[in-house]
Structure 1
Amino acid sequence: MEQTNTTVTGNSPKLAETVQLLQQRRPGYSLPQACYNSAEVFAADMEQIFYKEWLYVGLTCEIPQPGNFITLEVGNNPITIVRNKQMGVQAFHNVCRHRGSRLCTSKKGKVAKLVCPYHQWTYELDGQLIYAGNEMGDQFDKADFPLKQVHTKTAGGYIFISLAENPPEIDGFLAELERYLEPYDLENAKVAVQSEIIEQANWKLVIENNRECYHCAGSHPELLNTLLEWDDTNDPRASDAFKAHVARKAAEWDADNIPHEHISFGLRNRMVRMPLAEGKVAMTIDGSPACQKLLGRVKERDLGSLRILHLPNSWNHGQGDHLITFQVIPVGPQQTKVITKWVVHKDAVEGVDYDVEKLRRVWDATNDQDRTLAEENQRGINSIAYEPGPYSPTYEFGVVNFINWYADTFVANALGQTLPIALPE
Structure 2
Amino acid sequence: MIRAEEEGGLAPRHRFLLGAGLVLIGFNLRIPIASLGPVLPEAARASGLSPWATSVLTTLPSLCFGLFSPLAPAFSRRIGDERTVLLMLGALTLGTALRGLAGAPALFAAQILACLGIAAINVLAPALMKRDFRGHIALMTGLFTMSLCLGAALAAGVTVPLQRWLGGSWSLALAAWALPALLALLLWAAGARRQEAGVRHIARPRSLWRDLLAWQVTLFMGLQSALAYLVFGWLAPILRDRGLSPEAAGYLLSLSILGQAVTSLIAPSLAARGRDQRFVAVFFSALAVISLLACLFAPPATLWLAACVLGLSQGGLFGVALMLIVLRARDALVAAQLSAMAQGIGYLLASFGPLFTGLLHSMSGGWTLVAVWITAIGAALAWSGAGAGRALYVGKTPDSAAAITGASAR
Q: Using structure 1 for the length normalisation, give the TM-score.
A: 0.22
Higher relative contact order at CA 8 Å, sep ≥6: structure 1 or structure 2?
A: 2
Higher helix share: 2
Q: Using structure 2 for the length normalisation, give the TM-score.
A: 0.23
Higher strand share: 1
Larger Rg: 1
